[in-house]
């Protein structure tokens, strides 16, 4: 992954750095002050914000169309050449300290960034495997925010230098970073165009067309809206941070820098935690958890009592608890934002049609620009409406994000439950998975596995990169303690016709409905727990399902759970005391078989082979002196 991804990561990170560095230089130049404590902002900050919003609104669709129709490798190089040209022009503006000219080049840099934005995300699925997408998006997100932080802090630092040296340093930084980004872009792997439609492109009508296509993608629009909410949160937090530092710490640049570091550090931690928890699969449940964490952390920030301090008193505040409570609160908000955003970007990439992916990401950038504009209006309203107060504004923001998290949790509880169950299974077992990429990324499929214990469904459900519907015995399904959970996760109860006439037919109809909706259904063809640890003969229920819906069948082999208290080893399951903790469990998925192959002895043979492979790994790890230690 490193060789395929590193050039793109550094290319986009260097571009994001130059964009934010140039914007901060414009602000400092407009203030005509070397001190970051000057808070008489004037109209220039609004123009600098417009330098981000307007290009994203107008030109993101162009970037999406170009990204779908041109080789993204060549397009990125051309865009980096454009960035270098803009940097050279901005260098002249800095030399003459001309704020108006610098604003023009900031708009041009925004234009270049708007064209590049959809491309950097649309290229990831062409360079990375589906199991690498979450990690790739996490790194891109971290690179973007670290570049934002570095650009702001370096500009603030240079503002304290002697004027002549500061001008030279700014010029060299702009051109040097742009040149380095251009050089790195030549190492980005080839990414051929995916759109083969030979329709004419009308640049001035592209915004309308891209938005119309995005609104028609009903399964994509909620994810796009979720990303826009993320940028609304980020913009509001940065704006309120500026106001807070102005009010509580007399505009201390050191306070602003440290709290900005806390937020960006939190976003990075949240992004990497998302990649870790996802373990190669898309965990949509992290979106709800991230929103809940960000909302709760915002309310915690709002609860902090105000402490008015002069810039000279700020050093003393560093040793007090108030400032570090703020630091911790901003970091928690950032962690929640990172957990929230990474799965949404991945979801847009995975659900977008390949030939329109860049255009859909262009639409995402347009929605993001609108969200940033709304955030600026929100901040302006807070400034105008003094009765609300800063902490009231932060509390209102926290409540909004909490509502988003609660609504997501209530509308889609399965992903969150799956994530929590998988985390719980990781606590009790040391798991090893192989071949999860064999489960199709889209469309219906059956997952067939040997049945060892009552924990099998939880292990399989957590290991799958997609949510699973699973068949289970009717008596267990009707358990008064667990029935609510089985209903939420969509379990399908099945019983014999002798005890419940018509039950098998209803269960098959439910399975058929799930498959026709494009879901993945898991079943144990043995029909019962193994009594001796070996695979029993497959029953005919699988043939009945495939006769109605001939979908791909993914074989799987599970090992390591025989001997647990949830298996029939040494007595009936769940009637013994647990005798081991953190046992090694292996699960191997095989290549999908066609419905015709699955209805032959080949499927049972493949499941036995996969189980033998998993058994061999578990046994080898048990005998390994290193593993035992």
SS3 (DSSP) at 197: coil
Nearest CA among 59, 374, 32, 68 for reference residue 195: 68
Q: What is the pLDDT of residue 39?
A: 42
Whether 63 and 119 have beta carbons less than 8 Å apart is answered as: yes
The stretches of 321-356 forming alpha helices (DSSP H) are 321-351
Q: Class of the 421-628 domain?
A: alpha beta
Residue 199 has pLDDT above 60, yes or no: no
Q: In whole angstroms, give the CA distance from residue 516 to residue 551.
A: 10
Count CA within 13 A, CB hemisphere, residue 205.
Answer: 4
Residue 47: band (very low, low, confident or very high) from pLDDT cuts 50, 70, 90: low
Contact call for residues 29 and 94 (beta carbons, < 8 A): yes
How do residues 59-81 score in pLDDT, each as one tens digit? 888 888 888 888 888 899 999 99
Give residue-wise pLDDT tens across range 321-333.
Answer: 677 888 899 999 9
pLDDT score recorded for residue 38: 43
Question: In this structure, are strands 553-559 and 468-473 parallel, antiparallel, or unpaired?
Answer: unpaired
Helix locations, 492-556, DSSP H: 503-516, 541-548
Domain with CATH 3.40.1130.10 in the chain: 421-628
Residue among 248, 344, 249 at smallest CA distance from 290? 344
Superfamily of structural domain 1-188: MFS general substrate transporter like domains (1.20.1250.20)
Q: Are strands 445-449 and 553-559 parallel, antiparallel or unpaired?
A: parallel
Please give the structure tokens belonging to residue 225.
């809206």
- Record the tokens describing residue 528, joined without a space: 């019962």
User: Tens digits of per-residue pLDDT, 429-484?
Assistant: 888 889 888 998 788 999 999 999 998 988 888 788 788 898 888 888 888 887 88
Residue 626 has pLDDT above 80, yes or no: no
81-85, 239-243, 583-587: lowest mean pLDDT where? 239-243
In the predicted structure, residue 302 carries a pLDDT above the cut 90:
no
**Average pLDDT over all residues of the chain:** 83
Instruction: In the chain, list all ranges with CATH 1.20.1250.20.
Output: 1-188, 218-411
Report pLDDT for 629: 38
- Residue 522, pLDDT above cutoff 90: yes
Question: Which conformational region is residue 101 in: left (phi greater than 0), alpha (psi within -120 to 50 degrees), or beta?
Answer: alpha
The angle, 0 to 180 degrees and rounded to 10, between the axes of the packed helices 390-411 and 413-428 is: 80
Q: To 10 degrees, the CA torsion angle through 419, 336, 138, 64?
A: 110
Confidence of residue 627 (pLDDT cuts 50, 70, 90): very low
What class does CATH assign to 218-411?
mainly alpha
Dump the DSSP string for 97-151.
T-HHHHHHHHHHHHHHHHHHHHHHHHTHHHHS-GGGHHHHHHHHHHHHHHHHHHH
Residue range 536-570, pLDDT digits in tens:
889 888 889 999 999 999 999 999 999 888 899 88
The string of pLDDT tens digits covering residues 471-489 is 888 888 888 887 887 888 7
Give me the pLDDT at residue 357, please. Answer: 87
The CB-based long-range contact list for 495-503 (8 Å cut-off, 24+ gap) reads 499/474, 500/474, 503/474
Question: First vs last Cα of the chain: how many Å apart?
Answer: 31
């Amino acid at each position: 992954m490193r060789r395929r991804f590193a050039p793109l990561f550094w290319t986009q990170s260097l571009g994001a750095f130059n964009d934010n560095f140039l914007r901060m230089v414009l602000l400092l130049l407009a203030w005509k002050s070397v001190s970051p404590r000057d808070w008489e902002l004037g109209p220039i900050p609004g123009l600098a914000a417009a330098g981000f919003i307007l290009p994203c609104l107008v030109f993101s669709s162009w970037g999406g169309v170009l990204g779908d129709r041109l080789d993204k490798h060549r397009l990125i190089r051309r865009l980096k050449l454009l960035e270098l040209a803009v940097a050279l022009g901005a260098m002249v503006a800095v030399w003459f300290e001309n704020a108006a000219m610098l604003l023009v080049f900031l708009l041009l840099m925004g234009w270049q960034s708007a064209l590049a934005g959809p491309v950097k995300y649309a290229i990831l699925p062409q360079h990375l495997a589906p199991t690498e997408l979450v990690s790739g998006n996490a790194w891109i997100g971290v690179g973007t925010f670290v570049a934002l932080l570095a650009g702001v802090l370096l500009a603030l630092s240079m503002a304290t230098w002697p004027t002549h040296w500061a001008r030279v340093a700014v010029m060299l930084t702009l051109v040097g970073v742009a040149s380095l980004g251009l050089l790195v872009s030549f190492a980005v792997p080839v990414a051929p165009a995916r759109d083969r439609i030979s329709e004419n492109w009308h640049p001035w009508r592209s915004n309308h067309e891209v938005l119309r296509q995005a609104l028609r993608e009903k399964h994509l629009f909620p994810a796009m809206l979720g990303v826009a909410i993320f940028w609304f949160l980020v913009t509001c937090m940065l704006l309120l941070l500026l106001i807070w530092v102005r009010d509580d710490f007399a505009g201390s640049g050191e306070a602003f820098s440290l709290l900005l570091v806390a937020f960006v550090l939190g976003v990075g931690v949240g992004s990497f935690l998302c990649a870790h928890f996802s373990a190669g699969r898309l965990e949509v449940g992290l979106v709800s958890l991230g929103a809940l964490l960000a909302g709760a952390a915002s309310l915690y920030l709002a609860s902090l009592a105000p402490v008015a301090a002069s810039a000279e008193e700020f050093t003393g505040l560093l040793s007090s608890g108030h400032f570090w409570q703020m630091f911790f609160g901003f970091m928690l908000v950032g962690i929640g934002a990172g957990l929230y955003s990474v799965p949404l970007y991945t979801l847009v990439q995975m659900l977008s049609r390949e030939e329109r992916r860049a255009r859909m990401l262009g639409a995402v950038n347009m929605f993001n620009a609108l969200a940033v504009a709304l955030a600026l209006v929100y901040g302006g309203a807070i400034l105008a409406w003094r009765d609300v107060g800063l902490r009231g504004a932060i509390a209102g923001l926290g409540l909004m994000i909490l509502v988003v998290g609660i609504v997501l949790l209530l509308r889609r509880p399965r992903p969150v439950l799956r994530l929590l169950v998988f985390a719980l299974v990781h606590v009790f077992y040391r798991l090893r998975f192989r071949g999860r990429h064999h489960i199709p990324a889209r469309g219906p499929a059956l997952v067939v596995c040997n049945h060892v214990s009552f924990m099998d469904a939880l292990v399989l459900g957590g290991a799958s990169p997609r949510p699973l519907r699973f068949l289970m015995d009717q008596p267990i399904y009707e358990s008064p303690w667990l029935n609510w959970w089985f209903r939420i996760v969509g379990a399908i109860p099945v019983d014999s016709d002798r005890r419940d006439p018509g039950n098998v037919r209803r269960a098959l109809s439910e399975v058929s409905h799930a498959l026709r909706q494009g879901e993945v259904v898991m079943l144990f063809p043995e029909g019962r727990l193994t009594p001796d640890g070996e695979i029993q003969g497959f029953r005919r229920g699988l043939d009945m399902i495939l006769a109605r819906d001939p979908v791909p069948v993914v074989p799987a082999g599970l090992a390591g759970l025989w001997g647990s208290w949830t298996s029939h080893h040494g007595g009936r399951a769940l009637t013994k005391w647990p005798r081991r903790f953190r046992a090694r469990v292996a699960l191997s998925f095989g290549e999908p078989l066609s419905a015709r192959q699955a209805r032959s002895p080949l499927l049972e043979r493949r499941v036995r082979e996969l189980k033998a492979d998993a058994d061999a790994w578990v046994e080898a790890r048990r005998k390994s002196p290193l593993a035992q230690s």
